[in-house]
Amino acid sequence: MVNEARYTNQPVLITDHGKPAAAVISPGLLAHYQALEDAAALARDPEPPGSTHLSGSSFHRLQIGEYRILYDVTDDSIRIWSLGRAPR
């Protein structure tokens, strides 16, 4: 079960009487979900610790583990332009 999640990068559901009870996910998929959660948190705090304002623009960059988020902050909105793995 663990190897299936690791090598297929797909969640493996564990059921209890036919109903989903838990899931096993790969570390890569966990990192992706955490990056999505952090991107959603930008609505509460558009300039969290570690974010960098790109000079001469309204864009910000935030590195979360191996993921990078590029986003734009205006008076009434936050627009995420890119969420992807950062080059190594």
Summarize pLDDT for 14-30 with one digit per residue, the tens.
Answer: 999 999 899 898 888 88
Residue 69 contacts residue 82 (beta carbons within 8 Å): yes
Percent of the chain with pLDDT over 70: 99
* Tokens representing residue 75 in the block: 């008076």
Q: What is the pLDDT of residue 15?
A: 93
Q: Which CATH number fits domain 2-85: 3.40.1130, 3.40.50, 3.30.2310, 1.20.120?
A: 3.30.2310
Q: Letter for the amino acid at 72?
A: D
What is the rounded distance in angstroms from the CA atom of residue 10 to the CA atom of residue 67?
Answer: 19
Task: Tell me if residue 16 falls in helix, strand or coil.
Answer: strand
Rounded to two decimals, what is the model's pTM?
0.63
34: its two tokens: 């955490």
